[in-house]
Each structure stands twice: as structure tokens, then as C-alpha cells.
Structure 1
Amino acid sequence: MSVSKFLSISEVSQITSFTPHTLRYYEKVGILSKPERAHGKDRKYSEKELRQLKVLKTLKEIGMSLDDIKGFFLEGCILEKIESGENFKPPLNKRIRILGTHLVNLEQKKKDLEAMIKLTKAKLKEYETLLGTE
């Protein structure tokens, strides 16, 4: 979505499905950069914040912790670094490490879940067998 104007917190909330409270919380804990303010009061969100929120939503959907998400965003926007000619490789490498670690954790959770499914199926079969012998 291209934003030609600044958006209010309620408009951003509708677009992103994050509540205004959640948006303020992410700003407070340093996950979301502080948006500009109109007249020093009302938040004014730009396309940059919307892009950041889209990535944040994806990271939350894959189950990443808020601490890891904060680390992911700590060094700013990679696209801005590329556009400005800054060295983007260190923050990009950091993001790769964070995602790699998260993937390893997800793979372990998958193995644990598969083991629980196998155990549950075995227990279910055992119970069904007991019912069939009555």
C-alpha cells in the first residue's frame, strides 16, 4: 500500500490489525521507531512505519519473541541503508543470525510436536483397542 499522506494511529491500527495500545507499547519498548507527531501530540505514521509494521507482523506470525524482534529492528531499515549507500551487511548478517536461530528453534518445536502427535496416536489406538475388546 502506498501512503501519500501521514496516517493517524487509528488508521494504522485498522490497516495493520495492531491495536493503538499495542502500537504505543511497541514504540515504548523500542521495537517500533517513534513516529512524527502533529502539533507535538498526535502520531503521524508514514509509509516507513507501515513497512516496519508489516515486517513486525510477519515476525510475530512466525512466533518470534519480542526481544528477537527488537534485535531485528535495532539497527534500522536495511532498504534505507542500501539506498543511502551505508554498509548494510552487518545489520543484515545480524538479521540472518536471528532468523537462523529462530528457524532452529522452530525445527526443534516441530520435532517435539511430532513426538507428541505420535504418542497421542499410540495412546488413542490403545484406548480404542481396549474399547473393542469389551
Structure 2
Amino acid sequence: MAASHEFGIGELSQHTGVNIETVRYYEKIGLLPRPPRTEGRHRIYADAQLKRLIFIRRSRELGFTLDEIRNLLGMVEGGCACGEVQKAALAHLKTIRRKIADLRRMERTLADTAARCEGGTAPECPIIDVLSRG
């Protein structure tokens, strides 16, 4: 069995790529359990917190909200079946695809509008007209 490592918050931040203030925030909102402290009041993290923080960071990179991550962590800790995790991931994928479709629509609208704009000093501007519509 591998020996457990202990980390200060700076070292934890380096290993995970998560900003120190973000680590503190995750502790404050209960996403990351508050670690024990030394007599000098310095936080001491173990491998379990490192692994959990990496899980949180990767989940954020994939666009999961903090509430969704909390739900995923609950599934992991509760020994949830893989099917439940898949269901949550597929729901998130559906949200991402909807956002991509929205972004593509926005791109088309902006590209079409910008293409109609002649620039220069004319007082009429198709971009302003589109942005001003109710």
C-alpha cells in the first residue's frame, strides 16, 4: 500500500492547478472538506483531498456547475451505480449541445449583420439596428 502524503495549501494548489483562494472557497461551501490544521493553524491536506480537488477541477473544466459537482460527489461517495453517473453526464451533455446550438445561432446572426455593415462614417448601422430591436 502506498504511503499517504500530506500537503500544505500551496503544494495542493500546485499539484491540482487550483488557485489557493478557490481551494478556500470550495472548503467554505462544503465541496472540499475542511482539513485538519497544524498547531500553527496551517491546513494539512492528504491524498484524498488532492484526488477530490482534481475531480472538482476536471468537472469544472467540463462545464459542470458547483451543484452538479456536489451531486456527482454524492454519487461517488454513496457508491452510486455507474448508470446514475452516466445519466447525470448525459443530461449535462444535452445542456452543452443546447449551448453550442445557441452559440452557432449567435455567430450566424452576428456574422450576417456585420457583413451588411459597410463601416465608414454612415450614420445608419445594421449592427446597431439589430442590437436595438426589442
- Mapped partners of 2:23, 2:41: distance in 1: 15
- Mapped partners of 1:116, 1:75: distance in 2: 36
- Mapped partners of 1:38, 1:108: distance in 2: 47
Counterpart amino acid of residue 74 in structure 1: G
Which residue matches 2:132? none
Q: 1:97 to 1:20 in 2, by over 3 A?
A: same
Counterpart amino acid of residue 106 in structure 1: I
| Pairwise CA distance, 1:111 | 0.4
CA contact (8 A) 1:27 1:33 kept: yes
Identity of aligned residues (%): 28
Which residue matches 1:54? 54
Matches within 5 A, 1:18-57: 18-39=18-39, 41-57=41-57
> Which structure's CA Rg is the greater one?
2
Matches within 5 A, 1:66-105: 66-77=66-77, 88=79, 90=80, 92-105=82-95
Q: 1:67 to 1:40 in 2, by over 3 A?
A: farther
TM-score by length of 2: 0.72
Are 1:113 and 2:103 an aligned pair?
Answer: yes
TM-score by length of 1: 0.72
Runs of 4+ in 1 over 4 A off after TM superposition: none
SS at match of 2:37: strand
| Pairwise CA distance, 1:104 | 0.6
- Mapped partners of 1:23, 1:16: distance in 2: 10
- Higher relative contact order, structure no. (Cα contacts within 8 Å, ≥ 6 residues apart): 1
Structure 2: stretches of 5+ with no match in the other structure:
121-134
| Pairwise CA distance, 1:34 | 3.3
Which residue matches 2:125? none
Across the aligned residues of Structure 1 and Structure 2, the Cα RMSD in angstroms comes to 2.7
CA contact (8 A) 1:8 1:44 kept: yes
Q: 1:4 to 1:38 in 2, by over 3 A?
A: same
- Mapped partners of 1:122, 1:32: distance in 2: 46
